[in-house]
Amino acid sequence: MKKVLVATEKPFAPIAIKGIREVIEAAGYQLELLEKYTAKEQLLQAVADADAIIIRSDIVDAEVIDAAKKLKLVVRAGAGYDNIDLAAATAHGICAMNTPGQNANAVAELAIGLMIYAQRNMYNGASGTELRGKNLGLHAYGNVARAVARIAEGMGMNIYVYDPYTSQEAVSANGHTKVDTVQELYSTCNIVSLHIPATPETKQSIGRDLVGAMPKGALLVNTARKEVINEPELLALMSERTDIKYFTDIAPAALEDFKNCQGRFFAPPKKMGAQTAEANINAGIAAARQIVAFFENGDERFRVNK
């Protein structure tokens, strides 16, 4: 019997686990849960006899892959797969997948929530500003960014997009404005929302040059990855320009330093963009279905490694 392990340091909602279990058991496989684990050793032990694993932001590095002697498939229930060592997976003949789009709405709603929270001074009662009529810059135009745009449109924001991988036609078809350079996005927009993955090209790429080009009262919202921020540069800029705010879903490495920017910085204790029952159900069940389709039909549609 195939064993599917759900290894989530930050667990899915129980209703999502119920759905995952139904899909896995209907296929005749066995489901095992490793939730809220606190030590890597627990993961290393649990993966030892798993044929497939479902993870979230859990780190699947070369050591984990090495310990997973039967593993054929790892599915990241979510969008970003920078937590998987893809080269190690490929070297061991393991397929890695994600579940693109399944948690996008949850992250988008949180991004909009962060914008309102920032522009209303963290609900402290002081006079703030509205989103209506403001220029919103979407740095990249994937599933989350498009969901943000859909909500922001309803709030009367003007939407600008920088994404060299998306055509002018695709952006215009949605009624949004595509800008040619990343500098133009930042110099044009009151609020920039980050939707880039963490790759060697994007890591540390958001710093003084870009954020410093934003107009007075700028807000940077990050529901993507902390690694894309050049934290020393952003901290230095925020101490010079006390009009700039940084609201993020992911605690920065230099959390204590950012906390000094009182009223202009916010991060929740745990990354929570995709932490809704709906997103857990969508991404978790999609992951379970992808596992069954992989083993039963050789379906590798959502494969992300070579």
**Interaction site with ligand 3PG (CB under 6 A):** 10, 56-57, 78-80, 103, 271, 273-275
Nearest approach, Cβ of residue 66 and ligand 3PG (Å): 23
Report which of 78, 87, 92, 66 is spatially closest to residue 16, judged by C-alpha positions: 78
* Closer by beta carbon to ligand 3PG, 11 or else 128: 11
Long-range contacts of residues 276-281, Cβ cutoff 8 Å, at least 24 apart: 276/13, 276/103, 276/106, 276/109, 277/13, 277/15, 277/16, 278/105, 278/106, 279/102, 279/103, 279/105, 279/106, 279/107, 280/12, 280/13, 280/15, 280/16, 280/103, 281/13, 281/15, 281/16, 281/19
Report the nearest approach of ligand 3PG to the CB of residue 292 (Å).
21
C-beta nearest to ligand 3PG: residue: 78
Q: Smallest distance, Å, CB 78 to ligand 3PG? A: 2
Shortest approach of ligand 3PG to residue 153 CB, angstroms? 23
Q: Would you say 3 or 225 has its CB closer to ligand 3PG?
A: 225
Q: What is the largest CA-CA distance in the chain?
A: 61
Nearer to ligand 3PG, 80 or 207 (CB): 80
75 vs 237, beta carbon nearer ligand 3PG: 75
CB atoms within 10 A of CB 246: 25
Minimum distance, C-beta of residue 110 to ligand 3PG, in the bound complex (Å): 10
| Residue with smaller CB distance to ligand 3PG, 84 or 185 | 84
